[in-house]
Amino acid sequence: MDVHQAEFIKSAVKPKDYPETALPEVAFVGRSNVGKSSLINVLVNRKSLVRTSSTPGRTQLINFFDVNGRLVLVDLPGYGYAKAPPELRKQWQPMIETYLAKRENLRAVVLILDIRRIPADGDLDMLRWLETYGIPPIIVLTKCDKLSKNEQARQAGVIAAAIGRRREDLLPFSALSKAGREGIWRVITELAGL
């Protein structure tokens, strides 16, 4: 996708605050600190349209971004951040689940996994959950720059087995080198019907 314009629309917690739009939407989910916001920045060719941080729990609201006036990308808070204040954690799960269950223009969800880690319960729960709601998952293995090519191939196999998918269906990515960007855009635009 040739991105010529990307802008923040708004943040929301509840459905009444979501932007009113009929544009196709694609959301990004994953464990806290896995690299969701960084992936969106690379996709839209902007260093810091979306705030990123080395501290987990950076993204705390649902953030909507318009791309080319044709597509909306949605950055969601991460799950599985044990140190978040309990009050905040209690709000996150319903906030994410309500969004995924109710958003009618949602076409696909990008599930981001750290290529170095075995998927956690939160990741497996999310995959099952997407299946239940009939939302197609796009599975990205990020932080590939942290491993050699051989280790990447090995880890992709381990992760594919852990989540019961084919290795070819997992898209390797690095926010550092931007490797994998085009392939992810291809799947997003196809599922968004663009």
Which residues of the shown chain bind Mg ion in the complex (CB under 5 A)?
36-37, 58-59
User: Please, which residue, 37 or 152, has the CB nearer to ligand GTP?
Assistant: 37
Phi-psi region of 166 (alpha: psi -120 to 50; beta: other; left: phi over 0): beta
181 binds ligand GTP (CB under 6 A): no
* Segment lying near ligand GTP (by CB under 6 A), choices 16-24, 66-74, 118-126, 171-179: 171-179
Q: Which is nearer to ligand GTP, 54 or 148 (CB)?
A: 54
Query: Does 175 engage in binding with ligand GTP (CB under 6 A)?
Result: yes
CA–CA gap between residue 36 and residue 59 (Å, rounded): 9
Single-letter amino acid code for the residue at 144: C
> How far is residue 159 from each of residues 6, 23, 47, measured CA to CA in Å?
32, 33, 29
Selected range binding ligand GTP among 15-23, 25-33, 64-72, 127-135, rule: CB under 6 A = 25-33
* Selection from 9, 78, 44 nearest residue 185 by Cα: 44
Residue 147 or 175 having the CB closest to Mg ion: 175
Q: Which of 23, 25, 44, 59 binds ligand GTP (CB under 6 A)?
A: 59
Of 45, 53, 93, 132, the residue at the interface with ligand GTP (CB under 6 A) is: 53
43-80 burial, b for 16+ CB within 10 Å, e for fewer?
Answer: bbeeeebbebeeebbbbebbbbbbbeeebbbbbbbbbb
Q: Which residue has the tokens 């990008």?
A: 110
Q: Provide, rounded to whole angstroms, the least separation between the CB of residue 37 and ligand GTP.
A: 3
Closest CA to 146 of 175, 168, 126: 175
* Residues contributing to the site for ligand GTP (CB under 6 A): 30, 32-38, 52-54, 56-59, 77-78, 142-143, 145-146, 174-176
